[in-house]
Structure 1
């Protein structure tokens, strides 16, 4: 497994070793020992799966209290996946990092606790899987505004009709969210 550091300390891109032939492919998407050896000693509490059509934007979500770290990947389709640093003590507070995840590139993205997370689907029928290191707590969930000019996420929206949930349309600006210490 290859680990690619991001411009922000914490999130990492993971490229699994893929074994393929004319029949298809095989890869390990999770191995506790190998991840721990790579510095990602994580105990997961919950697995989630979402399916979305092209142009759906989900995010930017975080839980506080009870933050979640997420190991995310795409098994069908493609997304532009984003993490925003919400740790006030961090030198990269309010900065973002984005990566394209797809069934084709098989990349995974680790989004640690203390970050808002979201993604924009780039293809119809995109299946997005994520392992969480803490359970979902609806009363602790918050949304950072996906369009916040102070964060400045460069979403690849050209040619897309962005679809949002009511909750995501009401996301708060960076200066208004309940950030982490």
Structure 2
């Protein structure tokens, strides 16, 4: 795997390294040893799948507060998403900054999202599936979110927003 650090400390874009032959290809999408060599948490204890019917759907921006912060490894297994990481750690030089990339079933890329960062996405095509590996169990009492369109962050999505649930739409303005 190829680990590319992003401008957000602790966040990585991860690419598989396919070995091809007449059958297609084989590649690792996760290896505890390789993650540990990069200094990354590899203790994934929960896996989640989201399936979204309509392109233009927003999911997020979600995170969990301490002591239940989460590390996430996100990969699009069907379709395509515009994936966003937002740094909510006041102690970092990238506080309130974001990065985004397209994750698709075809490019096989993944985002590694460190604790203290919010995560959200917009589907770029209909019938999109996303696979999440989590280094923490979901705790509803620790779950939080911010609005993707909060002016404090300047996040722009590539498509018109067609679907967003009420919770994600109604998060209050961000305050430090």
TM-score, length basis structure 1: 0.91
Q: Which residue of 1 aligns with 2:64?
A: 63
Q: Which residue of 1 aligns with 2:85?
A: 83
The answer to whether structure 1 residue 19 and structure 2 residue 19 are counterparts is yes
SS in 2 for 1:168: helix
Pairwise CA distance, 1:21: 3.8
Pairwise CA distance, 1:161: 4.1
8 A contact 1:64–1:140 mirrored in 2? yes
2-side partners of 1:62 and 1:161: how far apart?
21
Structure 2: unaligned runs, 5 residues or longer: none
* Pairwise CA RMSD: 1.4
Superposed CA offset, 1:96-119 (max 9, x none): 111110011100100010001001
Superposed CA offset, 1:24-80 (max 9, x none): 332211110111112224201100001112111100001113111100001110100
Q: Which residue of 2 aligns with 1:49?
A: 49
Structure 1: unaligned runs, 5 residues or longer: 177-181
Aligned residue runs from structure 1 range 1-181, under 5 A: 1-53=1-53, 54-65=55-66, 66-157=68-159, 160-175=160-175
Q: What number of residue pairs does the alignment pair up?
A: 174
Q: Mark the CA change 1:155 to 1:141 in structure 2 (over 3 Å): closer, same or farther.
A: same
Greater Cα offset, 148-157 or 167-176: 167-176
2-side partners of 1:166 and 1:150: how far apart?
20
